[in-house]
Amino acid sequence: MTRGLFITIEGPEGAGKTTQARLLYEHLRSRYPVVYTREPGGTAIGERIRALLLDVSHTGMSPLTEMLLFAASRAQFVAEVVGPALREGRLLLSERYVDASIAYQGFGRGLDVGQVRRVNEGATRGVMPDLTILLDIDPALGLQRARQTAGKEGRPGHGDRLEQESLSFHVRVRAGFLAIAHEEPDRIRVVDGSRAQGVVHDEVVRLVEGLLGARGWRGSDSS
């Protein structure tokens, strides 16, 4: 199979994923065939599942249901977005993927991490990113930032169902991300997301350019 490159950006709430993904996309798009997406990747089915997942009135959703719904949405994302982009040799840049389920549903909710991995292996047919940028941030600071962003976007107060979880939940999520980064240091690179945007961007670019160089991606001239 002709293989593109798959890069994901992950992290706890308020770590700056969207900002950094957009800056990276702008940096790469003139030279590479980049597809920029975030789960559920604009799939109609995934969007409906996401609405179920993030609805603040769904207080009774069981952790297992939550995990399976994220995996279901991901299966659709892989079928409609990830698979085709990689087969076409594109550079796919996505906010969030399997690692989010390990961190949030495994470590955060306390589900068996092995089970979360197995379900997601099935959902993704084993397609994993070539590089994952983990933007790390102290959850207390991250949640404060996320709530400010929610306020600016006209969703004042609390954010979505997951953002509304307790600080201790988000502390476990962050610890989960760091634990999986420790297990897979070659794929998952930890970047301190609490620093100024430009500083974080420079480090993200250095990591991505390193991968592109190692895989022989030269890119077309932007002129």
CA-CA distance, 124 to 147, in Å (whole number)? 31
96 binds ligand TMP (CB under 6 A): yes
Handedness of CA 152, 153, 156, 162 (dihedral sign): negative
The answer to the question of residue 188 lying near ligand TMP (CB under 6 A) is no
Burial 164-176 (b: 16+ CB within 10 A, else e): ebeeebbbbbbeb
Residue 185 per-residue DSSP state = T
- Near ligand TMP in 155-174, by CB under 6 A: 160, 162-163
Contact with ligand TMP (CB under 6 A) among 5, 21, 91, 100:
100
The region of 19-27, 82-90, 92-100, 133-141 touching ligand TMP under the rule CB under 6 A is: 92-100
CB of 56 to ligand TMP, least distance (A): 12
Query: What x-and-dash track marks residues 6-35 binding ligand TMP by CB under 6 A?
Result: -------x----------------------
**Residue 32: is it exposed, middle or buried by C-beta count within 10 angstroms (0-12/13-18/19+)?**
buried
CB-CB contact of 74 with 182 (8 Å):
no
Given the rule CB under 6 A, which of 28-36, 98-106, 176-184, 186-194 is the region that contacts ligand TMP?
98-106
Is 133 an interacting residue with respect to ligand TMP (CB under 6 A)? no
Per the DSSP assignment, residues forming a β-bridge with 123 are none
Identify each DSSP E strand in 118-178 by its residue range: 131-136
For 118, the 3-state DSSP assignment is helix
Could you list the residues known to form a binding site for ATP, using ranges: 11-18
Q: Which residues sit at the interface with ligand TMP, rule CB under 6 A?
A: 13, 38-39, 70, 95-96, 100-101, 104-105, 160, 162-163
Could you list the residues known to form a binding site, using ranges: 11-18
